[in-house]
Amino acid sequence: MSEPHPRTVVVLAAGEGKRMKSSLPKVLHPLLGRTLLGHVLGAAAPLRADRTVVVIGHGADQVRGHLAEVAPEATPVLQAQQLGTGHAVRIALEAAPDATGTVVVINGDVPLLRPETVTALVEAHEAAGAAATVLAAEVPDPTGLGRIVRDTAGRLAQIVEERDATPEQRALREINAGIYAFDAARLRDALGKLSTDNDQGEEYLTDVFGLLRDAGEPVAVHVAADHVETLGCNDRVELAALRRLLRDRVNEGWLRTGVSILDPYTTWIDVTVTVERDAVIDQNTQLQGATVVGAGAVVGPDVTLIDTTVGEGATVLRSHAVGAEVGPRATVGPYAYLRPAARLAEKSKVGTFVEVKNSEIGVGAKVPHLSYVGDATIGAKANIGAATIFVNYDGVNKNRTVIGEAAFIGCDTSLIAPVEVGAGAYVAAGSAISQDVPAGALGVTRAPQRAIEGWVARKRAGTASAAAAERARAAAEGASVEASAASEGEPMHEGAETVSGPATAGDTATE
């Protein structure tokens, strides 16, 4: 078995991208989970190169910082003046003086490039023993792109930039995709012979092919099976078009693995997301970052999940989640907000207009509606009534609340942390709990209710409320007179008794 060829990858990422009209370098614009540069690095990853050199220029500090996050093994090399692609590759090789074997050069703005295509290019180049191989593609509209010019035998004659092309050459539809494989030694020699005798006054990397051919060195063309993956972008309109193309590719891939995507045109799934078989993704859904959707889960419609795990058989409806965990067969939404470190256990429920942050919701526990849960631990089968607020912040520190197993929190309750409600305990609706409630106890802080008769007539005279109250009073007096007349001469019933008092725990919560 032959020894593998040493390989060096050079990514050209120094351009400004003026037509993007952005303070962000073009190669850092995002596209379904990665930057343009990140997609290119991902396409080259299967080559297992000995080194990767990224030529940076405009926004160098930003690009350097991004590389430190996504590809710390890559070596950034500064091209202080953009003097052409040939100049960029020359300074890249100066940073890798011991590079031998194959040098792969890729433009940093071709995010749809597939790893399989890069690998096929390099393997064909190495198998043929070529000095240089260019990736080409047949495109419907070649405007703005370099053309592949072949001789009468169909071999590569030269690569011509559009600005330097003749009218006949501009009519050609086979274009240079900006991706190359070179023999390292022969590339170094040719780079030293480049001139700036062209319309832009720059060193064109493509001129290397003509130099090598004139020297009798073998040069080759490898044609991509799908021209779409060779598309780059120069402005935001083209970037949006690439985004749609990648969306369709990603969605088709998941559909073929057994995932149901009900409306692929309104479903956007990052390339970094994992979706398991029989999951259902409904319309207007965005799955981003490191999100994982388990088998049989239902997500959507109108859902955004960022770095969130959704367990098997769970349901997330019209909600937003960031850095959260939704357990198997749990339910979320509609209109819920799961913030980082929200963790929902199996069969738990977070319902309508509920926000959860840095909290654990136990197995089978419920927070059905209109509540804020922050910095809390809620035990299994606990029920949190509507409009409950976990008061976690005292202006300086975040404090924690603990709700025990099968505890029952009444509606419109404030739990003022740090506080603990024991297992099986109840909290009466409308309470503000600032002290621990023992297991099995009822916690209540209600003030006695009182009615101030005649207040509306005195304080709100002339209003609709005063008029309604007067009508109700008159009607009540009339009913009382009729009842008195009807009961004259009748014996009083014995044993009649009326008992009133404060509400008990039975009316404390909703479900």
CA angle 192, 197, 199 (to 5 degrees): 130
Ramachandran region, residue 64 (left: φ > 0; alpha: ψ -120 to 50; beta: rest): alpha
- Of the candidates 147, 155, 67, the residue with the CA atom closest to the CA atom of residue 108: 67
HSE at residue 44, side-chain half, CA atoms within 13 A, is: 31
> Running DSSP on this structure, what letter comes out for residue 335?
S
> How far apart (Å, rounded) are the C-alpha atoms in residues 115 and 304?
28
Under a CB-based contact definition with an 8 Å cutoff, are residues 209 and 134 in contact?
A: yes
| pLDDT tens for each residue of 254-307 | 999 999 999 999 999 999 999 999 999 999 999 999 999 999 999 999 999 999
Ramachandran region, residue 26 (left: φ > 0; alpha: ψ -120 to 50; beta: rest): alpha
> How far apart (Å, rounded) are the C-alpha atoms in residues 230 and 114?
9
39 noted as active-site residue: no
pLDDT by residue for the chain (511 residues), tens only, comes to: 456 789 999 999 999 889 999 999 999 999 999 999 999 999 999 999 999 999 999 999 999 999 999 999 999 999 999 899 999 999 999 999 999 999 999 999 999 999 999 999 999 999 999 999 999 999 999 998 999 999 988 899 999 988 889 999 999 999 999 999 999 999 999 999 998 877 777 898 999 999 999 999 999 999 999 999 999 999 999 999 999 999 999 999 999 999 999 999 999 999 999 999 999 999 999 999 999 999 999 999 999 999 999 999 999 999 999 999 999 999 999 999 999 999 999 999 999 999 999 999 999 999 999 999 999 999 999 999 999 999 999 999 999 999 999 999 999 999 999 999 999 999 999 999 999 999 999 999 988 889 999 999 999 999 999 999 999 999 988 877 777 777 765 554 444 443 344 445 445 566 6
Give Cβ neighbours of residue 87 (< 8 Å, ≥ 6 apart). Answer: 79, 194, 202, 203
> Running DSSP on this structure, what letter comes out for residue 437?
B
Count of CB atoms within 10 A of residue 158's CB?
18
Q: Which domains does the chain have, with CATH numbers?
A: 7-230 (3.90.550.10), 260-443 (2.160.10.10)
| pLDDT tens for each residue of 85-120 | 999 999 999 999 999 999 999 999 999 999 999 999
Q: Is the backbone peptide bond immediately before 97 cis, with ω within 30 degrees of 0?
A: no
> How far apart (Å, rounded) are the C-alpha atoms in residues 475 and 116?
85
From the list 39, 125, 227, 369, the catalytic residue is: 369
The dihedral built from the CA positions of residue 74, 80, 84 and 88, taken in this order, carries a sign that is: negative
State the residue for tokens 């090598």.
212
| Burial profile 468-479: b = 16 or more Cβ within 10 angstroms, e = fewer | ebeeeeeeeeee
> Running DSSP on this structure, what letter comes out for residue 240?
H
